[in-house]
Amino acid sequence: MMDWTDTHCRVFHRLLAPHARLYTEMVHANAVIHGDRARLLAMDPVEHPVALQLGGSEPELLGAAAKIGADHGFDEINLNCGCPSDRVQAGRFGACLMREPQLVADSVAAMVENCDVPVTVKCRLGVDDDHDWDRFLAFIDTVANAGCGMFVIHARNAWLQGLSPKENREVPPLRYDWAYRLKHERPQLQIVVNGGIATQDEATSHLAHTDGAMLGRAAYHDPYLLHRLDVAWFGGELRTRGELLRALRPYVEDQLARGVYLKHITRHLLGLFAGERGGRAFRQVLSEGAHKPGADWSLVEQAIEITESFAGERVDAA
Ligand SMILES: Cc1cc2nc3c(=O)[nH]c(=O)nc-3n(C[C@H](O)[C@H](O)[C@H](O)COP(=O)(O)O)c2cc1C
């Protein structure tokens, strides 16, 4: 997610969910080719398996960017066909690509040819008021035939006029049944459903119909949900929030020693105690202290201790 899922965020999420597949924010193919790769493609080895999401619509550029991403160590290259922002539309990529299946197929083919990791696509159900199942299926088939074996379906339309990107994540109604039907009609494809999944039960219920569930906002705002899901789906011991966060200490200290500011890491931690007694105090300590000069791990420890003192942290039932 743009501006949210940077490498610090993904390292934290990996700690919470050892089995999840993590995704970068969308990076335009041109930026991958010409930009500051050390920054744009920053990735820690603990993040694996991690996918690089590309934006763009020029097959040659996407092919070159996919190769760079795979050579950089990303485990999957994903093409964004779901972003509705004006800037993205003006660049003729993102959600408006759902109207150009052949261009997406050509792009996927170029990416597949240039890299040796899976190439996947994240898309919507359609754009504007197009609710034609056959057109959606034709999009999927055209792109699948070019070498895409996995689709992440943000299960609502994108409205290209009149809605902000934020509204486009809330206003067009969710229709999970289309993702389910897609899996039913194309069982050979891996189908991952996305959009509005907010609880463990919701996420789990999707697995009866699809191969996976992708969580965006809920994972960011309530990251402990990722941990509960990982334990529920893959086994292992449920650890407390404090325990999990303390395991991040070596990473944080290493990053601080490299000159990274504490606030750049702690901004991703703020939701860890969401809904818990003391959750507000945790946020407050970190928000108020992390930007101060010299802020270090002791601030995080202080935030955990204050929070734990509220109730004595309990391990939630899975
Ligand atoms: C701040 C923000 C940035 C996002 N950036 C991206 C992005 O770069 N690429 C992408 O495919 N989706 C992006 N999305 C959309 C999410 O990946 C997801 O599809 C959408 O929020 C619906 O899922 P959710 O309800 O689980 O959040 C973004 C969402 C938010 C809130």
For 109-131, write each residue's pLDDT tens digit.
999 999 999 999 999 999 999 99
- Domain count across the chain: 2
pLDDT score recorded for residue 285: 98
pLDDT in tens, 37-72: 999 999 999 999 999 999 999 999 999 999 999 999
Q: Note the pLDDT of residue 89.
A: 87
Q: Tell me the pLDDT band of 253, cut-offs 50, 70 and 90.
A: very high
CA distance 199 to 315: 17
Which domain covers residue 145, as residue numbers? 7-222
Whether residue 5 contacts residue 24, with contact meaning beta carbons closer than 8 Å, is answered with yes
Q: Are 283 and 307 in contact (CB under 8 A)?
A: no
Indicate the pTM of the whole model: 0.96
pLDDT at 310: 86
23 in helix, strand or coil? strand
Ligand 1 atom with minimal separation from the 26 CA:
8
pLDDT of residue 312: 55
Catalytic residue list contains 9: no
Residues 198, 77 share a domain = yes
Angle at 194 (CA atoms; ends 189, 24), nearest 5 degrees: 90
Find the 113 Cα to ligand 1 centroid distance in Å: 28
What pLDDT score does 292 carry?
Answer: 97
Q: Which of 217, 221, 268 to mutate to test the pocket of ligand 1 (most atoms within 8 A of CB)?
A: 217
**β partners of residue 127:** 158
Q: Whose CA is closest to atom 26 on ligand 1?
A: 216
Same domain assignment for residues 23 and 81: yes
Does the residue 313 lie in any domain? no
Query: In the predicted model, what is the mean pLDDT of residues 246-269?
Result: 98
Is-cis flag, bond preceding 223, omega within 30?
no
Answer whether residue 313 shows pLDDT above 70.
no
- Residues 156, 215 share a domain: yes
Residue 163 has which token pair?
């809605």
One domain for residues 78 and 129? yes
pLDDT given at position 311: 66
Token readout for 131 is: 């609710």
Question: What confidence tier does 185 reach under pLDDT thresholds 50, 70, 90?
Answer: very high
